[in-house]
Homo-oligomer: A and B are copies of this chain.
Amino acid sequence: MKPKARTRRSEALSKERIVEAAIEILDTDGEETLTFRNLTAHLSTGSGAIYWHVADKHELLAAATDHVIARVMAEVVKEADPQGAIRTLAMGVFDAIDAHPWVGTQLSRNPWQHAVLRILEGVGGRIQALGVPGQDQFNVATALMSFILGIAGQYAASARFASSNTTRTEHLGAVAAKWEQLDPAEYPFVHQVAKILPEHDDRDQFLAGINLILAGIKSAL
């Protein structure tokens, strides 16, 4: 009786195969479960084998993130309207994080990884097409980036907490309940927001933020 091979037989290792296996673990079992021991077991190889193909865990995570983001950016390529392109680009990143919360963690952790450059290029090109003057392009593009990366980190964090055993709305309900126990005199706004929190739509919220920034850009043109 052959043991169940978790991977298709034993082809030679490669960075690509390693990244794919890592993504599978990250997607199905979450970011905390990705260890080199777990990963090498999936690949049915020795615990140190990975280091021949990948420098360290940071590089592996960056490569996995780039894999996901590259796909997103490829889908955005052709959109004539720069504003529309920025929206679909941003929502594409959002949906990728929704599907792979660990991508959000990773994006917000290292601003100079390749995946972030892909996003910056995508945003920057549209900013230029929008007619933002040269000396403002850097600030405008990075502001949009910061907002996207900020959301990335937050959304990934929610997913990390919620996914364990409760649904997202249950979890938000628990958060809102905690907010309502704060002193209403000291935290009036938080109290008000607690009522909306459990049933709000993250995607709408994100798009509203993008539109806010786009409005700021247009008002300065």
Interface residues of A (CB under 8 A from B): 108-112, 117, 120-121, 124-125, 127-128, 136-143, 145-154, 157-158, 161, 175, 179, 182, 186-190, 192-193, 196, 200, 204-205, 208-209, 211-220
- Known A-B contacts A200-B138, A220-B215; A189 and B121 likewise in contact (beta carbons under 8 Å): yes
A190 x B124 contact (CB < 8 A)? yes
Min CB gap A103→B, angstroms: 14
Min CB gap A94→B, angstroms: 11
B153 x A108 contact (CB < 8 A)? yes
B147 x A112 contact (CB < 8 A)? no
B219 x A125 contact (CB < 8 A)? no
Which chain B positions have C-beta within 8 A of A186? 121
Which chain B positions have C-beta within 8 A of A150? 108, 145-153
- Known A-B contacts A117-B179, A121-B189, A212-B217; A109 and B153 likewise in contact (beta carbons under 8 Å): yes
Which chain B positions have C-beta within 8 A of A220? 212, 215
B212 x A141 contact (CB < 8 A)? no
A124 x B216 contact (CB < 8 A)? no
Min CB gap A8→B, angstroms: 32
Min CB gap A201→B, angstroms: 10
18 additional A-B residue pairs with CB within 8 Å, beyond A138-B205, A212-B213, A214-B216: A109-B153, A117-B187, A117-B190, A121-B187, A124-B193, A137-B189, A139-B205, A140-B208, A141-B189, A143-B147, A143-B205, A145-B150, A146-B154, A149-B153, A150-B150, A150-B151, A150-B152, A215-B219
Closest to A117 in B: B190
Min CB gap A193→B, angstroms: 6
- Known A-B contacts A157-B110, A189-B141; A216 and B205 likewise in contact (beta carbons under 8 Å): no
